[in-house]
Amino acid sequence: MRKCISIVCMAFFVSIVCMAQKKYSLQAIIDIATEQSVSVQKAKNELNVYHWQYSNYKAERLPALTLTLTPFQYSRNIIKRYISDSDRDEYRSQRSLYSYGNLQLTQNVDFTGGTLYAVSELGFLRTFGSTTYNQFSTVPYRIGYSQSLFGYNRFKWDRQIEPLKYKTAKRKYAYAIETTTYATANLFFDLCLAKENMGLSLDQVEKSDTLLMIGETLFKHDALSKSNLLALRLNKLEKEDELLKNRNEYRKKMFQLLSYIGIENSDSIEIELPTNRPTMAILYRTALEECRSNNPAYLEMNQNILSASKELDKTKKERFFDTNIDVSIGSNQYSDKFKEAYRNLLQQEVISIGITIPLIDWGIRNRRYKIAKSALETVRAEEKQKIQELEQEIFATVNNYQVQQNVYDRALEAFTLSKAIYTETLEKFRLGATDVKELKDAMTGIKESHRRYVNALCESWLSYMNIRRLTLYDFVKHTNLTIENSDY
């Protein structure tokens, strides 16, 4: 009896503490998780990486200005020099001071894969000896263009892949948010079930204690057998043990939820089980269309196929010879005076053609091409399989959501009936018209029907939130959950 009183007092104390705490709804817990959870922070950091990668890609499309300087280069060494008067080579000591500057403007051309450039150079050389000699060398301007004529054009592929990668990263971030939301809802409803089980166990303990007192009264008046009285006592002990187990399970589920959503310095919070289920109608065809429009898997499929196609194009063009051309035109001059180095400029013209021909490579380039070709086909097959599995998951989730609508209604009706059955059975027991077994069955019926009702409520919400996660679509507000127009 003392054990029962202590358990009831403990449960009463817990309920008083919970009443003093702020109650958190499912949406409030989700809001905390999307702000503080480790999974969201990780997803945000990954998106930042893609953001800066895309910024770098756009910067590569803009003109680049580079200044190269050798401000000071002093050398003192022994050099070999030919003396024409004596027709022989001699070693002589030489000291020199050299400075150089190069200013270059470049612009990548996506369509051709080449590079336009403009260069300006200035060099200064001072030689020390019996006489000091200064010389300036200038290239006021040189404009040119270089590219591979038959080779691999990286810029063309990047123009297709890089924007797609960034768009996919945004979709993945939104998907990560919804995945976190779904995982949080799972933990939330696990805690709700544990809380309901603990509350139900407390109610069962109170009922079993009441039944025992009724049974003792009936036993004193010879209206109840001793075996039935002992069965009531055993039932009371079982309910007390069940309360202790459910209380421990509740504390474990509380810790898991608080740890996941990032709430620290708190042993527990008070949560509210939703009082209703999502009721909007969701058709498979509608969910599938939204999934194809929003789910990052479809963009990732195109991205992976393009990346494999890029590698195939590269290995294909590297199998044979490659020709590089560099054409430039400009002016140059030299003088022992700075101003004179910019006068009476001489025309400078450079045309360079380079050819690379693989003569003997033991089939390495050809095998690379075949590997890339097989890899492309493999990627296509893998991505097709992923999409099939995703669409099958959409069908199963929508079907489960539709089934749960009926399951919930039936579970609610069963719970209502079980309470009525228990009330009637308890009244019959008071009058001595039924035995302990029938009464225990009625108590078990309440417990099981209540558990099925709460499970059905939780499953309805989880099915809906899983559809949101897969489709990135809010079927209540009729809006997409993507972030493509954000600042990221």
Report pLDDT digits (tens) over 403-412.
Answer: 998 898 888 8
pLDDT category, 402, cuts 50, 70, 90? very high
User: What's the rounded mean pLDDT across residues 455-470?
Assistant: 93
β-bridge pairing 270-271 and 23-24: parallel
CA dihedral 76, 135, 99, 74 (to 10 degrees): 10
User: What's the rounded mean pLDDT across residues 325-351?
Assistant: 86
- The yes-or-no verdict on residue 13 having pLDDT over 90 is no
Helix ranges (H only) for 319-432 are 364-430
261 contacts 36 by C-beta, under 8 angstroms: yes
- Lowest-confidence pick of 27-31, 168-172, 231-235, 285-289: 231-235
What's the token pair of residue 23?
């109650």
Which residue's structure tokens are 């033991």?
362
The pLDDT, as a whole number, for residue 124 is: 92
Q: Structure pTM?
A: 0.80
What is d(CA 160, CA 155) in angstroms, rounded to the nearest whole number?
9
- Cα 236 from chain centre: 50
What is d(CA 23, CA 392) in angstroms, rounded to the nearest whole number?
38
Which residue's structure tokens are 């049974």?
215
- Lowest-confidence pick of 166-175, 277-286, 440-449: 440-449
Residue among 464, 476, 471 nearest 400 (CA): 464
What is d(CA 188, CA 89) in angstroms, rounded to the nearest whole number?
91
Q: What would the pLDDT profile of 311-332 be if each residue is shown by its tens digit?
A: 999 898 888 878 888 899 999 8
High-pLDDT (> 90) share of the chain, %: 42
The more confident residue out of 102 and 152 is 102
What is d(CA 4, CA 244) in angstroms, rounded to the nearest whole number?
11
- CB-based contacts of 365, cutoff 8 Å, min separation 6: 315, 318, 319, 358
User: What's the rounded mean pLDDT across residues 94-105?
Assistant: 91
What is d(CA 152, CA 372) in angstroms, rounded to the nearest whole number?
14
User: What's the rounded mean pLDDT across residues 82-111?
Assistant: 86
Phi, psi of 152 (to 5 degrees): -75, 130
The pLDDT, as a whole number, for residue 1 is: 45
What's the token pair of residue 47?
């998106």
235 contacts 206 by C-beta, under 8 angstroms: no
Summary mean pLDDT of the chain: 86
Q: What would the pLDDT profile of 114-169 be if each residue is shown by its tens digit?
A: 899 999 999 999 888 767 888 999 999 999 999 888 788 888 899 999 999 999 99
What's the token pair of residue 181?
């939301």
- Lowest-confidence pick of 172-176, 204-208, 241-245: 204-208
Q: What would the pLDDT profile of 353-397 be if each residue is shown by its tens digit?
A: 877 777 787 888 889 999 999 999 999 999 999 999 999 999 999
- CB-based contacts of 7, cutoff 8 Å, min separation 6: 205, 240, 243, 244
- The yes-or-no verdict on residue 16 having pLDDT over 50 is no
The pLDDT, as a whole number, for residue 4 is: 46
Amino acid found at 96: S
What is d(CA 375, CA 304) in angstroms, rounded to the nearest whole number?
11
What is d(CA 253, CA 258) in angstroms, rounded to the nearest whole number?
9
Run of H or E including 453: helix 436-471
What's the token pair of residue 439?
């009464």
What's the token pair of residue 8?
């009831």
- The yes-or-no verdict on residue 482 having pLDDT over 50 is yes
User: What's the rounded mean pLDDT across residues 286-293?
Assistant: 94
User: What's the rounded mean pLDDT across residues 243-255?
Assistant: 92
The more confident residue out of 220 and 267 is 220
The pLDDT, as a whole number, for residue 186 is: 93
- The yes-or-no verdict on residue 350 having pLDDT over 90 is no
- Classify residue 149 by its DSSP letter: S
Residue among 351, 192, 187 nearest 263 (CA): 187
133 contacts 315 by C-beta, under 8 angstroms: no
Amino acid found at 173: Y
How many Å from the N-terminal Cα to the C-terminal Cα in the chain? 64
114 contacts 145 by C-beta, under 8 angstroms: yes
Neighbouring C-beta atoms of residue 279, cutoff 10 Å: 10
The pLDDT, as a whole number, for residue 174 is: 93
